[in-house]
Amino acid sequence: MPISTYTSVSIVVTVLTVAHLASFIVFVTCLSEKPTVTLSRRGRPTIATSFNLSIFTMLISLIIMFCAETAAHLSLDFNVRFGKIIDGILVMARVIGFDMAEIGYINYSYDRAKGIFDRTLPPGLATGLCWVVKTLPLQFLPPVTARAVSVCVSDPNQIALSFMISRWYGAAVAIFTFFLDMIFLVTFVVFLHSNIQCELGSSIADESMAVVAQYGAVGSFVFLATAGSLLAFAGWVKEWLRLLAYIMLSVVSVVLTALKVHLHRDRERRRSTADARLKNVLGSAELRRIRSRETLNRYESPKVYSDAVFVGLNDTLKCLEAV
């Protein structure tokens, strides 16, 4: 018996998400050899940054979610009954996967754009937003717990109560995250609009914030479309609409990864520019000596190096422009 179109699309998206995860792992692994990579407290290159962990969590969650969705529909295509426990586990995997992907997206977006929020929002609202983002995982626990109870119990009344709690509390959390992301989107748009007449290239921080705001606005818009579609049609969510929402969430993960790649290329471009100008002024031998000393300092005092390296590059460029 041939598999359905829905299952085929789900399989393709699952494979693409796995390929995305593999590409991301290769990218951050290669990045660990770069001189601009974050260092651990022991002075060794590390890929376990909060940014990488957020994207990794999001991709793993999406894969779990798509695998559960695919397995459930394969059972329908081949008329295989897993039983109540397995069916419940698949539902739980789908729900938890979606929630964890949301948490990964929100944490990554906030961590990347914290400087934008602090600069654009009033101090009280910026502080409140920080508190909300950090406690967001706790808000997903009640609906997930209620859904887990519905899988474990056998009494119809308890099952109905658990489903009701899971559905209504889950809807409340969905509305909350919708408005939270609305704040993200509005903040990014306001930041970009307020800087249209300004010289964004005046510093490295301004350049990076502009890039983060651009990608953040795109990611927030796609996420709002995803959450909005699920909220608008919550009463009659069809399979294709649910799969479309999952795919749109995957698009958000692509946007976040593209932001990371863009920022890395900008750092490498600035370093190459600095190297070229230093080479013209000081010569190749002196440049090699400076870079060797930078590498030594990087491992001897990783925190100091991590905080100062890009500031130093920016100051070097300004000095060379005056030469």
* Res 293: pLDDT: 63
Burial class (CB in 10 A: 0-12, 13-18, 19+), 235: exposed
Question: Higher confidence at residue 254 or residue 322?
Answer: 254
Mean pLDDT of the chain: 78
pLDDT at 319: 46
Distances (CA, A) of 49 to 54, 57, 101, 112: 9, 12, 17, 12
Q: Which of 26-35, 92-101, 209-218, 220-229 has the lowest mean pLDDT?
A: 26-35
Q: Please tell me the predicted confidence (pLDDT) of residue 210.
A: 87
Question: What is the pTM for the complete model shown?
Answer: 0.79
pLDDT of residue 306: 43
Confidence of residue 233 (pLDDT cuts 50, 70, 90): low
Give the residue from 152, 171, 12 showing the smallest Cα distance to 95.
Answer: 171
Can you tell me the distance from the alpha carbon of 35 to that of 5, in angstroms, rounded to the nearest whole number? 47
Torsion angles phi and psi, residue 39, rounded to 5: -105, 150
DSSP H helices, the chain, are: 5-31, 50-77, 84-120, 123-134, 136-139, 141-152, 156-194, 204-232, 239-282, 284-300, 302-322
pLDDT of residue 39 exceeding 80, the answer is: no
Which DSSP state fits 39?
B
